[in-house]
Structure 1
Amino acid sequence: MSSQNISEYEKDVIENRPDGEKTFEQTTFPELKQVASNALSRITSHLSTRDIVDPGPPPDGGLKAWTQVAMGFVVCFCTWGYINSFGVFQTYYTETLGESQSTISWVGSVQLWIVFFVSAFSGRALDAGLFIPTFLIGSIVQIIGIFMTSLCKNFWQLVLAQGLCTGLGSGIFFCPTIGLVTTYFRRNRGVAVAIVSSGNSLGGAIYPVIVRQLLPEIGYAWTVRVLGFVNVGLLSLALAFMRPRLPPRKAGPVVEWRAFREVPYVFVLLGMSLVFGGLFFSYYYIASFGRTILDMSYKDSLTLLIIFNGAAVPVRLVTGFIADRFMGPLNAMVPLLFINALFAFTWIAVKSESGMYVFATFYGFSAGAFQCLFPTTVTSLNNDLSKNGVRMGMAFSLFSFAGLAGPPIGGALLTTNGGGRGGYLVAQICLGVLTGVGACLMYAARVYKVGWSWKIKC
């Protein structure tokens, strides 16, 4: 065998053979295992950040930093944008599978739950210096889930493919992505996170547009596959440009029990759990309300979801900037939640298609405004930055169960009070109450932390 045709992996074996033989063909199985071990070490070293030297303080700007923000936006588009568009599937599955709305909502709820729950642990991959392999694995799992969804024929297949598999993949790479972006910023962190999170809303508007246009033309299976191809392209782009800035660091505990002794932190967790428990009822059922109560066409009902998600894009950016520069995230969060609760109650008064379009616009504004603030709100309660990761993970875990239970419970409420508009009335009241109580708990956290004065930034 010519030396020019011998790979470096073959040389690993040939140059260390104890018997002096210099042909690769005579390599034994233990020596092949050594080749595999050496190759794996090279790949892991190449993909990890173990060789990165600590670069010091965050650059807070520059081409590379803002590139990470742009790619983080793409990731949120492909993860939470896809999740926030579940309303298009909620309506379609209810009509084609013959299942109740509460039953169908379990598909989206399982997806939502597992994204939050897995994110509580996957963020540690960034700390371990394994962002790139984690991102790659998560992307593959998510894409498999989307393409398997296109083959589903019944409810339980959808739970496994769209709920479990797609949610698992998204959860694997979502949290490390957000964590990576925040390492590039300090002063402008709120603005950066707001830009990234606006991908949620834009994705939640674009995916329904794709479904609305393609479903009547090419059918369900190929429409879902198109969504999968969109994610393949966008996630490949993100993988090509996202790069960790910091070297690996020692991971802390999964749970910091001392945090539960801090009243502001506990109040924020409870308040946001109530808010998230009700919030996703809106994402899942706003199109269904237009279809079943207002007798809108399927395409027009999807327009409601598009408006609801799209309206949140600009307001997320403005909210992040104001919170960063003037108020602080908790100060901004409290009034926005009270406004959102007020809009939730106004849903009760909607009687026409035009009124529904107006409601979707303003409720989308208010819902998008506060969502970009909850990561920075959680971290603002803690003075020890080294504990931000574990505390955010704890928050994600708690929110996951609220997201799991909220939409199915909301769907079950639709069958009460005679069903129809009466059922929606009960669900809408519960949505407003949950958001209002959550806002009160957030306000209590703010008062406990800094007192009654609104002049203190927090």
Structure 2
Amino acid sequence: MGDIEKHGSHHGQNSDSLSRTSTKQEDIEETEHPVQEPISRTKSIASRLENTVLSRLTTRSIVNPGPPPDGGWKAWLQVFCAWLAIMNTWGFVNSFGAFQTYYSEILPQSPSTISWIGSIQACLMFLLGIFSGRALDAGLFLPTIMVGIAFQIVGIFTMSVSKNYWQLFLTQGVLTGIGGGIFFTPCMGLVSTYFAKKRGMALGIVTSGNSFGGIIYPLVVRQLLPKIGFGWTVRVLGFMNLIALGIIIAFMRPRLPPRKAGPIVELAALKDVPYILFVAGICFCISAIYFVFYYIGSFARDTIGISYIGSLNLVIVLNGVGIPARIIPGIIADRYLGVLNTHIPLICASVVLLYSWTAISSLGGFYTFTVIYGMIAGGWQSLFPTAIASLSDDLSRAGTRLGMAFSSIALAALVGGPIGGQLIAKGDGYWPGIVWCATTTLVGCVFVIAARIVKYGTTWKVKC
């Protein structure tokens, strides 16, 4: 009995022990689950946050909305934002003549050396646009333009504290060139996804930002440089960029989901004779046109004898008359003549005007030249991308071919200003550089005419 009681007592003790052990295990399990639940909850929150961020920064969550709206407040808002992008990228490039003249007065370097600042800026704009445009296709519009805008802003504000040539080359030339090259092409491409029938008009409005920026930047420099100095004048330009580019980030939105981009290089295009001839011709013309934009102010100052502030007015006029000139020829080409038939006479007229430049010695005559040349040059500049597309039998390849053309044009933009500047430095005044500019444009014109003849024949009755 006692043994049984002892056994029972031991059994009771064992039961109590097992009960306590079981309770401890349950406690342990209960304490394990509360640890796992926050972890899983944290992972869930992180996953949702990641998906939210990626859906905002990329277009992977967008469902194809169908045909372009061809209008509406959202579509025209994209046009306005892209116009701001072009104004603050290519408008800045086209304003380099204002800086070229000023730098020639304060820096010991030759005009040819100074022009490398604007040339590398233009080169990078053309070159990087080939690759950044593909980011739009990949659904990475916002991250891409944010990177480009960051480069642009840093470039301008560091330019404001630059003290010598190499600092200006790295800030104004390289940094802003990289920034503009990264974000202007996706902005242009995004606008084209909102329009079909009105695409030409929409893109014409966007590209007019080029000329408008070419007015605003020299105007700001003209008004502020004598009053607050170079550093604060450039900072004002930087604050203008901050506002404009902030609007772009806030309101530009892609409407299409990611899509497969084409190849960077199309080997068949290298065997397409009209395409090769046309691109070669445009390379010659682009190389020459930057000579005019870079040296028009310094020519007026050195040859005609006007002040630096007065020379800025010529840069403003050259860009200002390009606003209507970038829209009207496109309308004429669409409705009446065709893009090539409109493009070629404008280049021919440029050749005649550039040769006449050698005979100009009065301020009135030079203003007349500036107005007429600005209109003609703005016209053929706005048409050449459309002309390249028109030479392609397969429009699905037009984007690739335009990208290939831009890579060649980038090199032409790089060397045009320095070559002209070197001729000015080694020659007797500006006339050797002017003759080179006119002759280079003439060669380009011959190539463009040859491309038209090979593609469509010698009759001009064909709308092409």
User: What TM-score results when the alignment is normalised by the length of structure 2?
Assistant: 0.89
CA distance in 1, matches of 2:366, 2:138: 48
Residue 269 of structure 2 is matched in structure 1 by 259
Contact 2:151 2:175 in 1 (8 A): yes
Given the alignment of the two structures, is residue 184 of structure 1 paired with residue 194 of structure 2, yes or no? yes
Match of 1:367 in 2: 377
Matched with 2:135 is 125
CA deviation string 1:280-318 (max 9, x = no partner): 011110001011111110100111101111011112111
Q: Is the partner of 1:296 in helix, strand or coil? A: coil
- What is the correspondence of 1:55-454 to structure 2 with a 5 Å cutoff? 55-418=65-428, 420=429, 424-454=430-460
Quote the offset at 1:36 in angstroms: 6.7
Q: Tell me if the contact between 2:98 and 2:312 (Cα under 8 Å) persists in the aligned partners.
A: yes
Is the 2:208–2:326 Cα contact (8 Å) retained in structure 1?
A: yes
Verify the 8 A CA contact 1:55 1:245 in the aligned structure 2.
yes
Give secondary structure in 2 for the equivalent of 1:373: helix
**Counterpart amino acid of 1:21?**
V
Partner of 1:7: none
Task: Report percent identity of matched pairs.
Answer: 50
| Number of aligned positions between the proteins | 434
Letter in 1 for 2:160: S
Could you say what secondary structure the match of 2:427 adopts? coil
Q: Is the 8 A contact 1:311 1:364 kept in 2?
A: yes
Residue 35 of structure 2 corresponds to residue 21 of structure 1? yes
**Contact kept? 1:271, 1:441, Cα under 8 Å:** yes
Q: Secondary structure at the match of 1:21?
A: helix
Q: Distance in 2 between matches of 1:245 and 1:371?
A: 29
Q: CA deviation at 1:18?
A: 8.0
CA contact (8 A) 1:268 1:441 kept: yes
1:10 is matched with none
Q: Deviations over 1:251-296 (max 9, x none)?
A: 2211111111111111111010000011001111000101111111
**Which stretch shifts more, 238-247 or 87-96?**
238-247
Tell me how far 1:198 sits from its aligned partner. 0.9
Matched residue type, 1:425:
W
The yes-or-no answer on 1:44 pairing with 2:54 is yes
In structure 2, the CA distance between the partners of 1:226 and 1:20, relative to structure 1 (3 Å rule), is same
Partner amino acid, structure 2, of 1:163 = G
Q: Report deviation, 1:34.
A: 9.5
One-letter amino acid of the counterpart of residue 119, structure 2: S
Contact 1:112–1:167 at 8 Å: present in 2 too? yes
Deviates further, 176-185 or 186-195: 186-195
Q: 2: distance between equivalents of 1:202 and 1:120?
A: 24
Deviation, 1:234, is 1.1
Measured after TM superposition, the shift of residue 35 of structure 1 is: 7.5
Task: Find the counterpart in structure 1 of residue 14 from structure 2.
Answer: none
- Paired residues of 1:69 and 1:196 also in contact (CA < 8 A): yes
Q: Compute the displacement of 1:186 (Å).
A: 2.8
Which amino acid in structure 2 is aligned with residue 198 of structure 1?
Answer: S
How far off is 1:97 after superposition?
Answer: 1.2
Aligned letter for 1:97? L
The alpha carbon displacement at 1:437 in A equals 1.5
CA distance in 2 between partners of 1:269 and 1:19 (Å): 69
Amino acid at match of 1:192: A
Q: Name which of structure 1's ranges 274-283 and 67-76 shifts more when overlaid on structure 2.
A: 67-76
For residues 325-382 of structure 1, what are the alpha-carbon distances to aligned partners after superposition, in whole Å with 9 as ceiling and x for unaligned?
2222222111111111111112111101121111111111111111111221111222
Q: Are the equivalent residues in 2 in contact too, given 1:311–1:361 (CA < 8 A)?
A: yes
Distance 1:322 1:155, change over 3 A: same
Q: Distance in 1 between matches of 2:403 and 2:32?
A: 50
Whole-Å separation in 2 of the counterparts to 1:224 and 1:218 = 10
Which deviates the most, 278-287 or 373-382? 373-382
User: Looking at CA atoms only, which structure, 1 or 2, has the larger radius of gyration?
Assistant: 2
The verdict on how the C-alpha distance between 1:246 and 1:119 changes in structure 2, with shifts beyond 3 A counting, is same
Partner of 2:16: none
Tell me if structure 2 keeps the 8 A contact 1:193–1:320: no
User: CA separation of 1:426/1:378 partners in 2, compared to 1, >3 Å: closer, same or farther?
Assistant: same
Compared with structure 1, are the counterparts of its residues 326 and 140 closer, same or farther at alpha carbon in structure 2 (3 Å cutoff)?
same
Deviation at 1:133, TM superposition (A): 1.5
Q: What displacement does 1:415 show? A: 1.7
Contact 1:271 1:437 in 2 (8 A): yes
Distance in 1 between the 2:37 and 2:46 partners? 18
Amino acid at match of 2:441: T
Shift of 1:182: 1.7
Q: 1:70-94: CA deviations, max 9, x gaps?
A: 2221111010001100011111111
Shift of 1:33: 9.7
State the alpha-carbon separation in 1 of the partners of residues 423 and 259 from structure 2: 47
| CA 155–386 in structure 1, closer or farther in 2 if over 3 Å, else same | same
Offset of 1:249 from its aligned partner?
0.6
Paired amino acid for 1:244: P
Gap runs ≥5 in structure 2 = 1-30
Q: Which range moved further: 443-452 or 393-402?
A: 443-452
Structure-2 change in CA distance of 1:293 and 1:44 (3 Å): same
AA partner of residue 159 (structure 2): T
